[in-house]
Chains A and B, each alone.
Chain A
């Protein structure tokens, strides 16, 4: 708003906005604080804010004395793998639908989105059995495939809305100037499409990293990523609060940082371009 607000009003709204934002953020902050406390300090009553015994020990313990690095690595492989595989299949499809639209393109896009509305529990049993029989159960490859298929409609939709904004005239102009198809792809299309592909990739890594249904159903220990690991960390009963917090902080920090970088694209990505 261009209107100059009175300093008093600006002060009050700033105060209120920061208060609300801190309340929303507080659970994450409290978890991070707890992760740096000793176990005794973490459950002290009344709660200790600044007077706590601070330590890095929890991070060392979690990293060295559990299978944490394996869960972390599984998360990386599964989220990045499923996203790259999804992009490989989705880019040509979104490309074709954006630049060579047919009469049925819109119906096709709708149908793809509708597969996303199929409840995961409905396909859980067959998938569970198929995975058991084919040896995909509790393997990284199995989860890469499952999460790729789960997110494919979103990947296609996001790419479609990005590609749609590349003006077709530019392609025609390049062709008029005698650019070969190869030159057209390398020098005209790719540079224009790259930002859209990059933000699609970022958002889908986030979605796959945080997925907590298929990862719980389709793994036991070998291929379990962080989401399944934390979910099974049942009832830590007081004594392990600080370590649980440290494990949780390590599980969300990479994605939190990625997410902060991609928050602008998040809106248009997840609303399929309806809100920009």
Chain B
């Protein structure tokens, strides 16, 4: 698949503060790529470097074949960016805000007005076009900020906490739009602390904490970092079952809670059958065995705990 963004050995320091250390990523066309990490991990800095707002200390980023070190103006025409806080002019109307940003992108009239109208209608803000930005709710301001990033129909979108302040209906609508854009070949870099959004939207994501800790898909990540992925309930013979669990190489860890066992098992889809077979052949009465639905959040916390223990 065609690579749209190539990050090679990216480092960034602010004085003695080393924010990014040797980050390398490859992001394919038409993907929704998540950036995750604790506060201060360097997500926003990475976004800002990709958006040509700040310079890397070393390393290179190539976006759609153009190197960021030498082609900033070209890259700015190819990207759209929604930053953490909605940066709009409070004293101007919604229309004037968008008209100004469109003019900064050199979008000529009448194409400019047509594009602004199209997006305002798409985001349910057409009725608010003449309203002063200061009179808008935070969610509406966020929508204006998102529209600003879309005015020039960019191929690559950087979204930093883009759903912040939006109501559930707007979030759902935006998620549908993001899926649509990706299906139409746009590449979206999605930075969020809401793990369910990463889980729902991203084809792949990277967890960074100054460097890349993990690069995976949500499904793989859940399987790899879940604490327990199978729950088993027995009517009796708990000690005997515990011995069987301890001997099975597929069982990576387990804990007993009353008459239940929570188990981390390698490849639960196939290993569950094996476990059940072993227990039944030992005449242990299994009340139920169930594959646990593991949230990305649990897996993420599990990874961060491991990283901290490793430290």
Do A and B come from the same complex?
A: no
